[in-house]
Copies of this chain bind each other. A is one copy, B any other.
Amino acid sequence: MHTSLLKYINGHTSSVLSSEEVILIESVFKPKKFKKKQYFLQKGDVCKYYAFIVKGAMRQFSVDDKGTEHIIHLSVENWWVGDRESYTALTPSVYNIEAWEETDLLTITKADFFFIIDKIPAIALMIRTMDQRNFIANQRRLNSSISDTADKRYEEFERCHPEFVRRFPQHLIASFLGITKSSLSRIRRLSLKKTV
C-alpha cells in the first residue's frame, strides 16, 4: 500500500530513505478507502487530512450561489488531495472533495505532517519540490485562463492531460476549464471538423 508513496518520495528527492524513516512514514500515513461519490471533504468542514492517492480519481469543487459546481482540481494516482487553506489554517473549507472512482488514499494529519517535515529532510525537500511544481502549474493555468480562448484552453488541456480526458466525463472537464458542457461540446464538434 505504501510503496507507491515511497517511490514518489524517492522520485522527488534523489536522496534515499533510511529504514527508520520508512517506518516512520508508514506509521503516519493511514490508508483509507473511498467508494464512488463518497466525500473526502465537505464544504463547511475543516480539512483534517491531506492525502496521497494510491489508486483512483477524485475531484475538488466549489458550489456557487446558483448551485452550479465549479471544478477546482481533478486528481488521480500519485497526486495529492486536500484543501490546503483549510488544512493549515484550520478554517472551514469552501470546497468539496469527492471520490470519482473507487479510491485508495494514504491520509496524514497536519501534526504528523509537520512532525515528519522536521524529522525527515527528504520530506521537507519533497514539499518544496511539490510546491514548486504546483506554483508553476497554477501560474500556467491562470495565465491561460486570462489569455486564451476556450477552444485553446481545451486544446492545451487535451495535449497535456490526455489521461484525464479519457478518465473524467466531459462536463467535469468543461467545468475545470471554466466553461459549460454545452460550449465544450460545440468546441469539440468544430475542432473535429478542422482535423477531418
Chain A residues within 8 Å of B, Cβ to Cβ: 62, 64, 70-72, 84-85, 88, 124, 127-128, 131-132, 134-136, 138-139, 141-143, 145-148, 175-178
Contact = CB atoms under 8 A, between A and B. Distances in A.
Interface of chain A: mostly helix, strand, loop or mixed: helix
B136 A84 contact: yes
A96 to B, nearest CB: 13
A145 B147 contact: no
A72 B178 contact: no
A147 B88 contact: no
Given A88-B132, A127-B128, A131-B131, A142 B138 contact: yes
16 contacts: A62-B143, A62-B147, A64-B147, A70-B143, A71-B146, A84-B135, A84-B136, A85-B136, A88-B132, A128-B131, A131-B135, A134-B135, A138-B139, A141-B142, A145-B145, A146-B178
A72 B71 CA distance: 22
Nearest first, the 3 A-B pairs at minimum CB distance are: A146-B178, A131-B131, A138-B138
